[in-house]
Amino acid sequence: MGNIPPSANRRSRTRRGLAAVSATAMGAGMIALASPASAAAGCEVDYQVNSWGSGFTANVTVTNLGDPINGWTLEWDFPGNQQVTSMWSASYTQSGASVTAEDASYNAAINTGGSISFGFNANGSGDAPDSFTLNGVVCDGETGEEPEEPEEPEEPEEPEEPGNPGNPGERVDNPYVGADVYVNPVWSEKAAAEPGGDAVADQPTGVWLDRIGAIEGNDSPTTGNMGLRDHLDEALEQQSGDTPMVVQLVIYNLPGRDCAALASNGELGPDEIDRYKNEYIDPIAEILSDPAYADLRIVTTVEIDSLPNLVTNVGNRPTATPQCNEMLANGNYVNGVGYALATLGDIPNVYNYVDAGHHGWIGWPDNFGASADIFYQAANASGATPDDVHGFIANTANYSALKEDHFSISDSVNGQMARQSRWIDWNNYVDELSFAQALRQELISTGFDPGIGMLIDTSRNGWGGPDRPTGPGPRTDINAFIDGGRYDRRIHLGNWCNQAGAGLGERPTAAPEPGIDAYVWMKPPGESDGASEYIPNPEGKGFDRMCDPTYQGNARNNYNPSGALPDAPISGHWFSAQFQQLLANAYPPVE
């Protein structure tokens, strides 16, 4: 029943908390130590340098150990003739060896225990400064209230034993390890009713709280008449003995939801942030904090498809939409996500995973780092801190292949690089696993805890069946090579609606790869992504032509055919033909 077997290949993760990150891949690193100046304030600076002799790039993470601050200045003296040439996520002045960096307004606030990061390029050697001051206080890793202890080197955390329940009420590093995962009976019944569906009907899938009404149960196709409490009660029923039970919830009801598409437009208007907080997040939090559920490990995946839209579909980009520009301008995606993280993150047995798009969305150099920045901004908005974030989820409800075995980003054919191919189109990643692992590193260097883990939604990225390539494409030119070898057989990487040819992907698995907490089926396979034509409905859902098989595309899929299956119902509703296709094309195949 939904047991996710732990894998031998489990990563060990360093302890959460304020212990400083040690210098590793980046090159020289140091922790500034000096005596504290005041009891009310304290800070710690981690200075990581990547040096090439005549110059270097520095990444600076400042952790506030004192009272919350709003507005900061970090000062240091270089040990030699180093000269800053550019700085990001902060502004600077330099006079002789003395540098003053000031916050970029969006990262001005640092809560107690919170961190911000900024970076700069400089000329000269990468030798680190001896000390830093934050708003005039020396950063020595102490608050001044306790005698200084020598820094203990960090020890890797003991790997958890499979079946180790951890202490109830205390978050574990990877909630999936040694745990069972809740099987949504509403989905399970539909899957089991399809021919051959029995084989996967006991897999765990996400429970989508896609409307205020879903909290109490509203006869929606996704959750039937089961409200959130009913699911949690049922999860307790499914729990056997001491084995912990994970429940996977999708928090999905932002104001102005799905600003670059129409198929999953939501019930709340762009400005209805107060309703989001009071009528959606608060009631969910109230239920989740019921002591009856304190032993469940509640995984919340927070707001699918929202924040990346604020990077890729705004401004003067050809992909921009007025709705995404509005959500960027009014701040309600960032503030809504921040509020959800802060409120749900206060509940000790909730594990927040923020949605992080997928490689075919934010895998390009101009949106990868920018997305990490906006996730960090949201994790510091509306009372949230990065500690409210347990990890991130990639590929939710998308179709990007997990691992492309027949080519890599560094391949070339006749002097043409893989990145030049039509399919890859200058992306830096070719699949979700490499993307998720790289994004995790990027998020950590942006300021998230080194303990964060990634989830990958593998519900529909299997791409098996008779058309699955068994080897690389011909080395005649780069396009033939990539197109002949790729598992992902979409017409274009930007296609997302009910994709023809897709199959179920890896079955849900705990800790399958380093940095990955689990492969999950967050999107319940068989539930539509959107209707192929306009169908009136009371759910606020529009008609997006990306779900119409006759559509020839838009800027977001570079004007390619949609690749969608015909005759689809509105998003979230059961789509039998799609389920049967997913089963037939499953990879690994369904036995």
Task: Determine which one of 46, 258, 388, 431 is catalytic.
Answer: 258
Which of 108, 201 has the CB closer to ligand BGC?
201
Pick from 248, 398, 459, 571 the residue near ligand BGC by CB under 6 A: 571
Whole-angstrom distance, CA of residue 302 vs CA of residue 340: 7
**Closest separation between CB of residue 146 and ligand BGC, Å?**
49
Whole-angstrom distance, CA of residue 203 vs CA of residue 505: 12
Site map for ligand BGC, 167-206, x if CB under 6 A? ----------------------------------------
Cite the beta strand spans of 387-473 per DSSP E: 391-394, 412-413, 416-417, 453-457
**Closest separation between CB of residue 572 and ligand BGC, Å?**
3
**Closest separation between CB of residue 204 and ligand BGC, Å?**
14
With CB under 6 A as the contact rule, which of the stretches 51-59, 279-287, 433-441, 519-527 interacts with ligand BGC? 519-527
**Closest separation between CB of residue 533 and ligand BGC, Å?**
17
Pick from 210, 303, 432, 548 the residue near ligand BGC by CB under 6 A: 210
Angle at 262 between CA 395 and CA 568, to 5 degrees: 75
305 catalytic residue (yes or no): yes
**Euclidean distance between the first and the last CA atom of the chain, given in angstroms as a whole number:** 17
Q: How far is CA 253 from CA 337, 360, 538, in A?
A: 10, 23, 15
With CB under 6 A as the contact rule, which of the stretches 124-132, 282-290, 470-478, 521-529 interacts with ligand BGC? 521-529
For ligand BGC, which residue has the nearest CB? 572
Residue numbering of the annotated binding site? 208, 210, 358, 361, 398, 496, 523, 527
Q: Which of 26, 132, 121, 37 shows the shortest CA–CA distance to 79?
A: 132
Which of 20, 250 has the CB closer to ligand BGC?
250
Pick from 115, 222, 321, 562 the residue near ligand BGC by CB under 6 A: 222
Which of 110, 207 has the CB closer to ligand BGC?
207
Angle at 100 between CA 95 and CA 106, to 5 degrees: 145
- Residue 152 main-chain phi, psi, to 5 deg: -85, 135
449 catalytic residue (yes or no): no
**Closest separation between CB of residue 535 and ligand BGC, Å?**
13
Q: Which of 527, 539, 518, 574 shows the shortest CA–CA distance to 248?
A: 518
Whole-angstrom distance, CA of residue 579 vs CA of residue 582: 5
**Closest separation between CB of residue 524 and ligand BGC, Å?**
5
Binding flag, residue 464, ligand BGC (CB under 6 A): no
Q: What residues pair up with 559 in beta bridges, in sequence order?
A: none
**Closest separation between CB of residue 335 and ligand BGC, Å?**
22
Site map for ligand BGC, 524-563, x if CB under 6 A? x--x-x----------------------------------
Whole-angstrom distance, CA of residue 288 vs CA of residue 228: 9
Q: How far is CA 502 from CA 145, 186, 532, in A?
A: 59, 23, 17
Pick from 47, 72, 132, 208 the residue near ligand BGC by CB under 6 A: 208
Residue 588: is the preceding peptide bond cis (ω within 30°)? yes
Q: Which of 139, 159, 158 shows the shortest CA–CA distance to 75?
A: 139
Which of 434, 562 has the CB closer to ligand BGC?
562
DSSP 3-state of 172: coil
Please report, as residue ranges, which positions from 120 to 139 form the binding site for ligand BGC (by CB under 6 A). Answer: none
Whole-angstrom distance, CA of residue 47 vs CA of residue 183: 45
Which of 139, 324 has the CB closer to ligand BGC?
324
Which of 303, 529 has the CB closer to ligand BGC?
529
Please report, as residue ranges, which positions from 308 to 367 form the binding site for ligand BGC (by CB under 6 A). Answer: none
Please report, as residue ranges, which positions from 257 to 286 form the binding site for ligand BGC (by CB under 6 A). Answer: 264
258 catalytic residue (yes or no): yes
Question: Do residues 490 and 482 make contact, with C-beta atoms less than 8 angstroms apart?
Answer: no
Whole-angstrom distance, CA of residue 469 vs CA of residue 433: 19
Q: Which of 290, 268, 441, 434 shows the shortest CA–CA distance to 363?
A: 434
Residue numbering of the annotated binding site for substrate? 208, 210, 358, 361, 398, 496, 523, 527
- For ligand BGC (CB under 6 A), the number of binding residues is 11
DSSP 156: B
Task: Kindly give, in sequence order, each residue whose CB lies less than 8 Å from that of residue 196, ignoring residues fewer than 6 positions away.
Answer: 580, 583, 590
Angle (deg, nearest 10), helices 432-446 and 368-378: 50
Please report, as residue ranges, which positions from 371 to 430 form the binding site for ligand BGC (by CB under 6 A). Answer: 397
Q: Which run of H or E residues covers position 353?
A: strand 350-355
Question: Residue 173's CB: how many other CB atoms inside 10 A?
Answer: 22
Which of 44, 210 has the CB closer to ligand BGC?
210
Whole-angstrom distance, CA of residue 25 vs CA of residue 59: 12
**Closest separation between CB of residue 569 and ligand BGC, Å?**
11
3-state secondary structure 445-470: HHCCCCCCEEEEECCCCCCCCCCCCC
Which of 125, 264 has the CB closer to ligand BGC?
264
Q: Are strands 516-520 and 509-513 parallel, antiparallel or unpaired?
A: antiparallel
Pick from 511, 572, 581, 587 the residue near ligand BGC by CB under 6 A: 572
Which of 29, 572 has the CB closer to ligand BGC?
572
Task: Determine which one of 457, 529, 544, 548 is catalytic.
Answer: 529
Task: Determine which one of 140, 173, 180, 305 is catalytic.
Answer: 305
With CB under 6 A as the contact rule, which of the stretches 280-288, 457-465, 488-496, 522-530 interacts with ligand BGC? 522-530
**Closest separation between CB of residue 307 and ligand BGC, Å?**
17
Which of 498, 585 has the CB closer to ligand BGC?
498
**Closest separation between CB of residue 413 and ligand BGC, Å?**
38
Annotated catalytic sites, by residue?
258, 305, 529
Binding site for ligand BGC (CB under 6 A): 208, 210, 222, 264, 397, 523-524, 527, 529, 571-572
